[in-house]
Amino acid sequence: MAERDQEFVDYIVKTLVDNPDKVETSRTIDERGVLIELKVDPADMGKIIGKEGKTAKSIRTLLRVVGAKNDARVNLKIVEPEGSERPAPVQEESPAAEAPVEVAPEAPVEESKEASSIDDIKL
Protein backbone atom coordinates (compact mmCIF):
# COMPACT_ATOMS: atom_id res chain seq x y z
CA MET A 1 0.00 0.00 0.00
CA ALA A 2 2.80 2.38 0.92
CA GLU A 3 3.97 3.02 -2.61
CA ARG A 4 0.73 2.60 -4.55
CA ASP A 5 0.41 6.34 -4.91
CA GLN A 6 3.88 6.54 -6.47
CA GLU A 7 3.10 3.63 -8.81
CA PHE A 8 -0.13 5.37 -9.77
CA VAL A 9 1.72 8.58 -10.74
CA ASP A 10 4.34 6.58 -12.68
CA TYR A 11 1.66 4.77 -14.64
CA ILE A 12 -0.34 7.87 -15.58
CA VAL A 13 2.66 10.02 -16.46
CA LYS A 14 4.43 7.33 -18.50
CA THR A 15 1.23 6.88 -20.49
CA LEU A 16 1.06 10.61 -21.31
CA VAL A 17 4.66 11.42 -22.27
CA ASP A 18 6.79 10.69 -25.34
CA ASN A 19 9.84 9.69 -23.26
CA PRO A 20 8.56 7.33 -20.55
CA ASP A 21 12.09 6.10 -19.79
CA LYS A 22 13.00 9.61 -18.49
CA VAL A 23 10.15 9.77 -15.96
CA GLU A 24 11.43 9.75 -12.38
CA THR A 25 9.42 9.90 -9.17
CA SER A 26 10.54 10.07 -5.58
CA ARG A 27 8.38 9.67 -2.49
CA THR A 28 8.96 11.33 0.88
CA ILE A 29 6.87 11.29 4.03
CA ASP A 30 6.79 14.06 6.62
CA GLU A 31 4.38 15.51 9.17
CA ARG A 32 2.24 17.07 6.40
CA GLY A 33 1.77 13.80 4.52
CA VAL A 34 3.24 12.19 1.44
CA LEU A 35 5.05 14.21 -1.21
CA ILE A 36 5.70 12.74 -4.63
CA GLU A 37 8.22 14.63 -6.76
CA LEU A 38 7.94 14.14 -10.49
CA LYS A 39 10.73 14.75 -13.01
CA VAL A 40 10.20 14.38 -16.76
CA ASP A 41 12.08 15.21 -19.94
CA PRO A 42 11.93 18.96 -20.72
CA ALA A 43 10.14 18.21 -23.99
CA ASP A 44 7.36 16.46 -22.08
CA MET A 45 6.61 19.22 -19.57
CA GLY A 46 3.80 20.64 -21.69
CA LYS A 47 2.04 17.29 -21.80
CA ILE A 48 2.21 16.95 -18.02
CA ILE A 49 1.10 20.50 -17.28
CA GLY A 50 -1.56 20.69 -20.02
CA LYS A 51 -3.47 23.73 -21.18
CA GLU A 52 -3.87 26.16 -18.30
CA GLY A 53 -2.49 23.46 -15.97
CA LYS A 54 -5.56 21.26 -16.35
CA THR A 55 -3.66 17.98 -16.79
CA ALA A 56 -1.50 18.58 -13.71
CA LYS A 57 -4.57 19.57 -11.71
CA SER A 58 -6.36 16.39 -12.80
CA ILE A 59 -3.41 14.20 -11.82
CA ARG A 60 -3.30 15.89 -8.41
CA THR A 61 -7.05 15.39 -7.94
CA LEU A 62 -6.81 11.69 -8.75
CA LEU A 63 -3.80 11.38 -6.46
CA ARG A 64 -5.76 12.93 -3.59
CA VAL A 65 -8.48 10.33 -4.15
CA VAL A 66 -5.89 7.54 -4.00
CA GLY A 67 -4.53 9.07 -0.81
CA ALA A 68 -7.96 9.48 0.77
CA LYS A 69 -8.72 5.85 0.07
CA ASN A 70 -5.62 4.96 2.10
CA ASP A 71 -6.15 7.63 4.81
CA ALA A 72 -3.15 9.67 3.67
CA ARG A 73 -2.65 13.18 2.37
CA VAL A 74 -0.73 12.95 -0.91
CA ASN A 75 0.69 15.92 -2.83
CA LEU A 76 2.44 16.07 -6.18
CA LYS A 77 5.33 18.40 -6.97
CA ILE A 78 6.35 18.70 -10.61
CA VAL A 79 10.04 19.57 -10.70
CA GLU A 80 10.95 21.93 -13.52
CA PRO A 81 13.84 20.35 -15.45
CA GLU A 82 17.06 22.03 -16.45
CA GLY A 83 16.76 23.61 -19.87
CA SER A 84 12.99 23.94 -19.82
CA GLU A 85 11.54 26.28 -22.38
CA ARG A 86 9.37 28.16 -19.90
CA PRO A 87 10.38 31.81 -19.61
CA ALA A 88 11.66 33.08 -16.31
CA PRO A 89 9.04 34.79 -14.14
CA VAL A 90 8.77 38.51 -14.73
CA GLN A 91 9.55 40.62 -11.71
CA GLU A 92 7.71 43.89 -11.45
CA GLU A 93 9.81 46.97 -10.92
CA SER A 94 8.80 49.88 -8.76
CA PRO A 95 7.17 52.82 -10.59
CA ALA A 96 10.10 55.07 -9.67
CA ALA A 97 12.48 52.84 -11.62
CA GLU A 98 10.52 53.17 -14.85
CA ALA A 99 11.34 55.80 -17.42
CA PRO A 100 8.95 58.77 -17.47
CA VAL A 101 6.22 58.58 -20.06
CA GLU A 102 5.33 61.70 -22.01
CA VAL A 103 1.64 62.44 -22.26
CA ALA A 104 0.33 64.53 -25.14
CA PRO A 105 -2.03 67.35 -24.15
CA GLU A 106 -5.66 66.60 -24.79
CA ALA A 107 -7.42 68.32 -27.67
CA PRO A 108 -10.30 70.60 -26.66
CA VAL A 109 -13.66 68.88 -26.73
CA GLU A 110 -16.45 70.57 -28.64
CA GLU A 111 -19.76 70.71 -26.88
CA SER A 112 -22.55 68.82 -28.48
CA LYS A 113 -25.79 70.53 -29.38
CA GLU A 114 -27.67 67.50 -28.12
CA ALA A 115 -29.47 67.49 -24.79
CA SER A 116 -27.05 67.77 -21.89
CA SER A 117 -29.33 66.32 -19.24
CA ILE A 118 -32.45 64.23 -18.91
CA ASP A 119 -34.52 67.39 -18.28
CA ASP A 120 -33.64 68.74 -21.75
CA ILE A 121 -35.09 65.73 -23.53
CA LYS A 122 -38.63 66.24 -24.80
CA LEU A 123 -40.86 63.24 -24.94
Q: What is the pLDDT of residues 29-63, one digit of tens each?
A: 988 899 999 999 999 999 999 999 999 999 999 99
Between 50 and 1, residue with greater pLDDT? 50
- The dotted CATH code for 4-78 is 3.30.300.20
Residue 16's pLDDT is what?
94
pLDDT at res. 1: 46
Beta-bridged to residue 27, according to DSSP, are 36
38: β partners: 25, 78
pLDDT tens figures, 63-113: 999 988 888 899 999 998 665 555 555 555 555 555 555 666 666 655 555
Q: Which helix (H) or strand (E) holds 36?
A: strand 33-39
